[in-house]
Amino acid sequence: MGYVTKTLWKLTICAMLVATLGCSDSKEKQQKEQKEQTLQDSHNARHNAAKPNIVILATGGTIAGAVDSSLQTTGYQAGVLSIESLLQSVPELASIANLESEQIANIDSADMNEEIWLKLAKRVNTLLKSSQVDGVVITHGTDTMEESAFFLHLVAKSDKPIVFVGAMRPSTALSADGPKNLYNAISLAANPESKGKGVMVVMNDRIQSARYVSKTHTLNVNAFASPNAGDMGYILDGKAFFYTIPAKPHTLQSEFDVDKLDSLPKVDILYSYANDNSQVAAQALFNHGTKGLVIAGSGAGSIHKNHKDMLKKLMQNGLVVVQNSRVNNGLVIANEADSKLGFISSYDLNPQKARVLLMLALSKTDNNERIAKIFESY
């Protein structure tokens, strides 16, 4: 049968079907179009041009945690509720901004990893490039929030507001802190005054810079502080009062770019302590592919001689070592002799933040002097 005859046959059969049953293909297409139109209409109905557009990226944590008893604030499962159900449970949020949400992950933040960091950072960068997005809120477990927030502070390429938020009590708890924290976070992201201030963390009415903030209490709702810098501001029922801005480069001024990265160099943290036996751990980590170590030393960064001797040996074989402290206030500056050996000063960064910076530094260079300069700058 020739092509023209075949086509004519097909058209005739379809016309017959439409006349009798309706052509199923075109019916399905029509239904799909109608559904899309309904979704678009409901989006437009919710969208108010006078309000800012905020996207919430959810990663899990206690804010999305749940347990059977409202009296329980421990022993719950983190990262259970979807971001949609969290938003629905706080209808007041819709009065602040037009909200869209995406579930990036739903985990206990103890399990945070570099894949999620990179996915989150790339998504934030894509969203904030759009003129349709005014700010981003990231819901996150509190345990490693300071690390993820600092990572974003260094790699986000926008001056639009980026706000991290979590909760210390699960969503099911009597007096859960998540809803008010979320209200404050969305208000802060929707506030034009938040532009250009780098990544912020909002917990318990306190605004803190991702550069300085640290978790300082295991259980209390007032769990975050910035030991070396103090709070960046206060937020009262959604209204922000700023006190300071972070002094170091971040976001648009930062030299780090993750858009082309699929992984990050391996960096670990080791403690120094009485009878320190970490030479075994340091050697094992190096053999296992660790490129950099952050040493949480005692006091102003001192390292037990057993441990230090091993570090010196490994440094000669290419390991990069950042001298840090297990004390949560103050600076660590390597002395002249240690600097000459290659130990890098971490200044006021805590060990987990120094690790983030070292991973990013090593993604650009393995030159010790260059890395030391990066620590001086950021």
202 scored as a contact of ligand SIN (CB under 6 A): no
Query: Which residue do the tokens 């050697």 mark?
Result: 283
Tokens representing 247 are 């002094």
Convert residues 7-46 into a mask of x (bound to ligand SIN by CB under 6 A) and - (unbound).
Answer: ----------------------------------------
Number of separate helices (H) and strands (E) present in the chain: 11, 14
Closer residue to ligand SIN in complex, CB, 52/61? 61
- Please state, in angstroms and as integers, the Cα–Cα distance from residue 247 to each residue in 156, 196, 198, 254, 275, following that order: 17, 12, 10, 12, 38
Closer residue to ligand SIN in complex, CB, 181/272? 181
Task: Name all contacts of 349-352 with Cβ < 8 Å and 24+ positions apart.
Answer: 349/324, 349/375, 350/146, 350/214, 350/324, 351/269, 351/294, 351/296, 351/324, 351/325, 351/326, 352/144, 352/146, 352/147, 352/269
Using CB under 6 A, pick the residue from 54, 55, 61, 320 that binds ligand SIN. Answer: 61
Using CB under 6 A, pick the residue from 53, 56, 57, 62 that binds ligand SIN. Answer: 62
Are residues 156 and 133 in contact, defined by beta-carbon separation less than 8 angstroms?
A: no
Q: Within positions 120 to 149, which residues make up the interface with ligand SIN, using CB under 6 A? A: 141-143
Tell me how far, at minimum, the Cβ of 73 lies from ligand SIN, in Å: 10
| Residue showing the smallest CB distance to ligand SIN in the complex | 141
78 scored as a contact of ligand SIN (CB under 6 A): yes
Tell me how far, at minimum, the Cβ of 163 lies from ligand SIN, in Å: 16
Are residues 126 and 111 in contact, defined by beta-carbon separation less than 8 angstroms?
A: no
> Which of 59, 62, 139, 142 is labelled catalytic?
62
Using CB under 6 A, pick the residue from 161, 166, 265, 301 that binds ligand SIN. Answer: 166
Tell me how far, at minimum, the Cβ of 166 lies from ligand SIN, in Å: 5
Are residues 223 and 168 in contact, defined by beta-carbon separation less than 8 angstroms?
A: yes
Active site positions, annotated: 62
Q: Contact positions toward ligand SIN, by CB under 6 A?
A: 60-62, 78, 108-110, 141-143, 166, 168
